[in-house]
């Protein structure tokens, strides 16, 4: 297994082939070699203060059962 950064699937495979060819312990890929490519995107981190969540919960139309309302309401109050 190798990890590479690439802008496309084909670029990822080309970079992986180059990595395998540089490694003397790994057999060189052939035309029948199958590659499995896994895309790992950087995780997205969100930060929110309790006060912001409480304001959002209070402003949710339709009450706590509205989309997004119950999750925030649980954090701000316990009526769900």
Please give the Cα distance from 25 to 27 (Å, whole number): 7
Please give the Cα distance from 67 to 11 (Å, whole number): 40
Residue 34: the pLDDT is 93
Contact 23, 9 (CB under 8 A): no
SS3 of the chain: helix, strand, coil, percent, to 5: 40, 0, 60
Q: What is the pLDDT of residues 26-75, one digit of tens each?
A: 899 999 999 999 888 877 788 888 888 787 777 765 555 555 544 544 44
Please give the Cα distance from 1 to 3 (Å, whole number): 7
Residue 76: the pLDDT is 47
Please tell me the pTM assigned to this model: 0.50
Residue 16: the pLDDT is 93
Residue 35: the pLDDT is 92
**Does 80 score more than 60 pLDDT?**
no
């Amino acid at each position: 297994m190798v990890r590479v950064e690439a802008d496309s699937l084909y670029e990822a495979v080309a970079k992986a082939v180059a990595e395998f060819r540089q490694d003397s312990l790994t057999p060189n890929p052939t035309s029948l070699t199958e590659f499995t490519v896994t895309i790992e995107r950087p995780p997205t981190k969100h930060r929110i203060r309790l006060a912001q969540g409480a304001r959002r919960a209070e402003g949710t139309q339709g009450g706590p059962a509205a989309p997004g309302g119950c999750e925030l309401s649980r954090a701000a109050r316990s009526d769900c």
